Amino acid sequence: MFRLPELRAFCASFASVYRSASIHTRLAHLSTASGSTIGDLTSRPANLSENSTDHVAILGGGNLGIALARGWVRAGRFSPSRVAVTRRKPARLAALEAEGFVTGLTSAKASAQAHIIVLAVQPQQLPALLKDIAPAIDPSRHRVISVVSGASIADIRGVLGQQVDVVRAMPNTAVVIGESMTCLCGDDGVALDEAQALFDLVGRTLVISEDMIGAATALCACGIAFFLRTVRAAMQGGIEIGFHPEDAALLAAQTAKGAASLTLQAGAHPEREIDRVTTPRGCTIAGLNEMEHQGLSSAMIKGIVVSANAAAGLYKTD
Ligand SMILES: NC(=O)c1ccc[n+]([C@@H]2O[C@H](COP(=O)([O-])OP(=O)(O)OC[C@H]3O[C@@H](n4cnc5c(N)ncnc54)[C@H](OP(=O)(O)O)[C@@H]3O)[C@@H](O)[C@H]2O)c1
């Protein structure tokens, strides 16, 4: 059981781990802000600046949309005045407005003024959004990037027009710190290259076929939560063996980062790095085997499969 001071310390340390992704605390703030209707637009930046050849409209200013907006600005790709972010309750974008982003436009107007349009609403919200922006879409000028789980390129073109360039991207919330893993698919050509270049700025990318996007959703987008849960579990273990929560959070997260970096830099199978740590009759193999007896690998594999199956069924039009 926690005593109150320990509980406070636990919460503070947990917030500090998540703060690197910024959106956790900021969205907590946003979600407590009062709602307003689309008509309440007057106090916000009203338009994207003059030249509309290099502006982005992020339609759906939620967890991922906001992380993308901040990630591209942090990477130096856009100034905030070139990024419009929309949602139906724009008052909840007050924090972005304060950072200089354009938050005062409807999705249709933001699309009309932009060159790149990012669809970032939930799957069930997409049909209404597509219907809303369809009249503003000009296939000769617009490139559409969808991060919406489950909705295919054909679904989107079915509403916006067959000539429109549509690329699907599956990033994760680490875009905000430039550490996403983003899978992309689309027709070979400039639109796909441009989209890949955009996501290269906020992490690493891989072009895949569209039938693998559901799998990428599970492994990369949902994967952030899976790995964070393992960090939290390690942290809890660390507390039980004697570390204060804030120290346990640092030790667990930095060790997880080191393990991931070793795999990425060596480009080798993780088991090779594990072999270097598991001395015969040692404490690492003892702990590792106990975790396997308890189902560690099996739980992760099963969770990813269930997640991928769920991702495949997310988009429904009726
Ligand atoms: N979160 C992730 O880690 C992640 C990773 C990869 C892919 N994705 C995909 O990205 C999409 C967004 O996910 P999310 O987690 O960011 O969801 P979210 O936090 O619920 O954000 C969705 C946002 O869309 C806005 N919205 C809904 N209808 C709209 C409309 N017609 N016009 C403009 N804005 C509208 C909502 O605000 P209002 O209610 O105010 O309109 C909300 O802020 C989903 O399809 C998800 O599957 C998410």
Taking the C-alpha atoms of residue 108 and residue 130, their distance in angstroms, rounded to an integer, is: 9
Q: Which of 122, 146, 199 is the pocket-test mutation for ligand 1 (most atoms within 8 Å of CB)?
A: 122
- What percent helix, strand, coil does the chain show, rounded to 5? 60, 10, 30
Predicted confidence (pLDDT) per residue in 37-53, tens digit: 222 333 455 666 544 56
Per-residue pLDDT of the chain (318 residues; tens, 9 = 90+): 334 444 344 334 433 433 333 333 332 322 222 222 222 333 455 666 544 568 999 999 999 999 999 999 999 999 999 999 999 999 999 999 999 999 989 999 999 999 999 999 999 999 999 999 999 999 999 999 999 999 999 999 999 999 999 999 999 999 999 999 999 999 999 999 999 999 999 999 999 999 999 999 999 999 999 999 999 999 999 999 999 999 999 999 999 999 999 999 888 789 999 999 999 999 999 999 999 999 999 999 999 999 999 998 887 776
Separation of 8 CA from ligand 1 center, angstroms? 31
Separation of 280 CA from ligand 1 center, angstroms? 49
Taking the C-alpha atoms of residue 149 and residue 313, their distance in angstroms, rounded to an integer, is: 9
Amino acid at 268: A
Separation of 149 CA from ligand 1 center, angstroms? 10
Is any atom of ligand 1 closer than 6 Å to the C-beta of 111?
no
pLDDT of residue 189: 94
**Residue 180: phi, psi to the nearest 5?**
-75, 160
Is any atom of ligand 1 closer than 6 Å to the C-beta of 107?
yes
Give the 3-state secondary structure of residue 51: coil
Separation of 293 CA from ligand 1 center, angstroms? 39
CB 26 within 8 A of CB 66: yes
Is residue 64 within a helix (H) or strand (E), and if so which, with residue range?
A: helix 63-74
Separation of 42 CA from ligand 1 center, angstroms? 23
CATH code of the domain occupying 4-12+222-312: 1.10.3730.10
For residue 145, which of 125, 124, 160, 128 has the smallest C-alpha distance? 160
Which is it for strands 116-119 and 83-86: parallel, antiparallel or unpaired?
unpaired
Is residue 267 left, alpha or beta, with left meaning phi > 0 and alpha meaning psi from -120 to 50?
A: left
Taking the C-alpha atoms of residue 267 and residue 264, their distance in angstroms, rounded to an integer, is: 5
Q: Which atom of ligand 1 is nearest to the CA of 65?
A: 16
Give the 3-state secondary structure of residue 281: coil
What's the predicted TM-score (pTM) here? 0.85
Separation of 108 CA from ligand 1 center, angstroms? 16
What's the chain's Rg over C-alpha atoms?
22
User: Has domain 33-209 been given CATH number 3.40.50.10490?
Assistant: no
Taking the C-alpha atoms of residue 129 and residue 38, their distance in angstroms, rounded to an integer, is: 13
Domain ranges of the chain: 4-12+222-312, 33-209
Q: Which of 18, 85, 88 is the pocket-test mutation for ligand 1 (most atoms within 8 Å of CB)?
A: 88
Is any atom of ligand 1 closer than 6 Å to the C-beta of 88?
yes
Instruction: Kindly give, in sequence order, each residue whose CB lies less than 8 Å from that of residue 82, ignoring residues fewer than 6 positions away.
Output: 48, 49, 54, 55, 56
Count other C-beta atoms under 10 Å from residue 156's C-beta. Answer: 21
Is any atom of ligand 1 closer than 6 Å to the C-beta of 149?
yes
Instruction: Kindly give, in sequence order, each residue whose CB lies less than 8 Å from that of residue 226, ignoring residues fewer than 6 positions away.
Output: 300, 303, 304
